[in-house]
Structure 1
């Protein structure tokens, strides 16, 4: 039998390392779940139950409740050209284009 004057306790460094590992594992799991479920970290143009509408003759936009027509001065985006997330292809496109009063897609004049 061996007798020592040391008390065997888990070191603080080992406990901190284990906590970091658990935290990192949880974060990695959450990120993987977001990717696998199609969840996006991008900001949606409109909230749930709404769809985006475009200002006629300008680059402004708004969100309209599903099932309702766009408010006066606004129109629906053309099919296939609807922005879904802030900064996506169509959100960027509509910063320089609009729909005129005849429903034609036109480029917005500079400064307009």
Structure 2
């Protein structure tokens, strides 16, 4: 029995890496399927901060404007806390981007980022 594939690539995992690969391949004309074991969107406590150095990638994936519209304010300081001890420092400014507010990173929930990437890939 011969089976014909309906996809050029099957991506396992619809997180940022998987959807970025799927989006890149789809824009090059590949028929792509994304397989994810969990229902989207999903909340995750990791990966909510995106540094300004990554905005060029989001722009290439054509979700940069949507990210800018949804992300929180610029993160200009970082702090570490342990008991009564606190250390704070200024965040480094990234090279100037295409928008005035691209100098610093910002936070966006993974559920929103994953949805932006998945919608762009489909």
> What TM-score, normalized to structure 1?
0.21
Instruction: Indicate the structure whose relative CO is greater, using CA pairs within 8 Å and at least 6 residues apart.
Output: 2
> What TM-score, normalized to structure 2?
0.20
More helix by share: 2
